[in-house]
């Protein structure tokens, strides 16, 4: 089980857009260049973020991406869901309803699915409790030069 | 991001081995037949469980698999780890260390990786807090006919 590398890209690009400021639109190519990422593939992640209202895109030669909302109102779960989709990692195929042990009258929820679902909820709760604003504050505390460096690079 | 279907198979097979009882060895083919699963592919999951000491296998025509430990001492995390491996779903590729913004002197842990790691821990904590014994108790409460049905099918 592995999350797409696009999640790391998407979170870092959102942080960079936040530090750049909503008054500047940044192209996918420029966002990609900052980490030497493949621009076309990053553009797909940015489109997914736009579909979920996390970034806003402006077309045209001077267009690009901006953060669509305040970073304090975008959670890590929002970003992960935009890239990975909303479905849980464990998907019960209800194998207990096949074969000689199957009981058509049994309407209970599978106990395995239930336990896996609770672990998934704990994971989501943690990601939903962490906003991009929180992550930015963490970076500003441990690597205080980063926000200014990002802002300068993306605005000049 | 999707967990392998082998996790569902492995958990259900462990439950069935527990209800069958450690005095009976059950072949992969018979375990597979109970849910109409492909026997060769299920055998791979059973080998992974055996490598991690969750089931014990006895070779030979009368051999097969048994649960290696009491179901109360096997957690869902043990089973998931045996099938999926121990690595977290989010794997930080440290893209922040590439490109024009990279700072070779920065020795901090990436704030994104840290936040994703905490969500992963919450997920693991939940799975580590649930044993096969707990799941069995859940089934016994909601579908009390299952344990006896399983025991009968696998021992006759």
All residue ranges of chain B with pLDDT < 50 are none
List the single residue in B with minimal CA-CA distance to A90.
B3
In the predicted structure, residue A124 carries a pLDDT above the cut 90? yes
H/E stretch holding B57 reads strand B55-58
CA distances A99 to A44, A149, B34, B139, B150, Å, are 42, 61, 5, 18, 12
Residue A21 CA to residue A107 CA, distance in Å, equals 53
- CATH 1.10.10.10 assigned to A5-85+131-155: yes
Residue B98 CA to residue B37 CA, distance in Å, equals 46
State the SS3 of A9-76: HHHHHHHHHHHHCCCCCECHHHHHHHCCCCHHHHHHHHHHHHHCCCEEEECCCCCEEEECCCHHHCEH
Determine what percent of chain A is predicted with pLDDT higher than 90.
74
Give the residue, A147 or B108, on which the prediction is more confident: A147
Mean pLDDT over A100-113 rounds to 85
Interface residue of B6, B7, B8 to substitute, partner A, most A CBs within 10 Å:
B8
Q: What's the confidence (pLDDT) of residue B87?
A: 86
Per the CB < 8 A criterion, the answer to whether A142 and B111 are in contact is yes
Query: A24-72, pLDDT tens digit by residue?
Result: 999 999 999 999 999 999 999 999 999 999 999 998 888 899 999 999 9
| CA A27 to the chain's CA centroid | 19
Q: What's the confidence (pLDDT) of residue A140?
A: 94
- Report the predicted TM-score, pTM, of the whole model to 2 decimal places: 0.89
Q: What's the confidence (pLDDT) of residue A10?
A: 96
| Cβ <8 Å between B96 and A12 | yes
Per the CB < 8 A criterion, the answer to whether A1 and B7 are in contact is no
Lookup: tokens for A147 = 């926000």
| Cβ <8 Å between B111 and A139 | yes
| Cβ <8 Å between A35 and B11 | no
In the predicted structure, residue A81 carries a pLDDT above the cut 80? yes
How wide is the angle at C-alpha B90 spanned by C-alphas A57 and A143, nearest 5°?
70
The residue behind tokens 């909303």 is: A86
Lookup: tokens for B46 = 């059973």
Whether the CB of A134 is below 8 Å from some CB of chain B: the reply is yes
Say how many Å lie between the first and final Cα of chain B, rounded.
40
In the predicted structure, residue A1 carries a pLDDT above the cut 80? no
Interface predicted TM-score of the whole assembly (ipTM), two decimals: 0.88
Residue B117 CA to residue B106 CA, distance in Å, equals 20
Helices (H) and strands (E) in chain A, counts: 7, 2
Q: What's the confidence (pLDDT) of residue A111?
A: 87
- Across chain A, what does the average pLDDT equal? 93
Residue A70 CA to residue A49 CA, distance in Å, equals 14
If contacts are CB pairs under 8 Å, which of residues 44-103 in chain B contact chain A? 76, 84, 87, 89-93, 95-96, 98-101, 103
């Amino acid at each position: 089980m592995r999350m797409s590398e696009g999640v790391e890209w998407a979170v870092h690009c959102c942080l960079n857009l936040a530090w750049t400021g909503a008054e500047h639109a940044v192209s996918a190519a420029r966002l990609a260049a900052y980490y030497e990422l493949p621009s076309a593939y990053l553009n797909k992640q940015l489109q997914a973020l736009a579909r979920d209202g996390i970034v806003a895109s402006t077309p045209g030669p001077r267009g690009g991406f901006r953060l669509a909302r305040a970073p304090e109102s975008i959670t890590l779960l929002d970003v992960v869901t935009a890239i990975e989709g909303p479905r849980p990692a464990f998907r019960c195929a209800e194998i207990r309803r096949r074969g000689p042990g199957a009981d058509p009258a049994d309407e209970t929820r599978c106990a395995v699915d239930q336990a896996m679902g609770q672990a998934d909820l704990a994971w989501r709760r943690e990601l939903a409790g962490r906003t991009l604003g929180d992550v930015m504050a963490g970076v500003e505390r441990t690597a205080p030069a980063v926000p200014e460096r990002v802002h300068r690079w993306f605005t000049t």
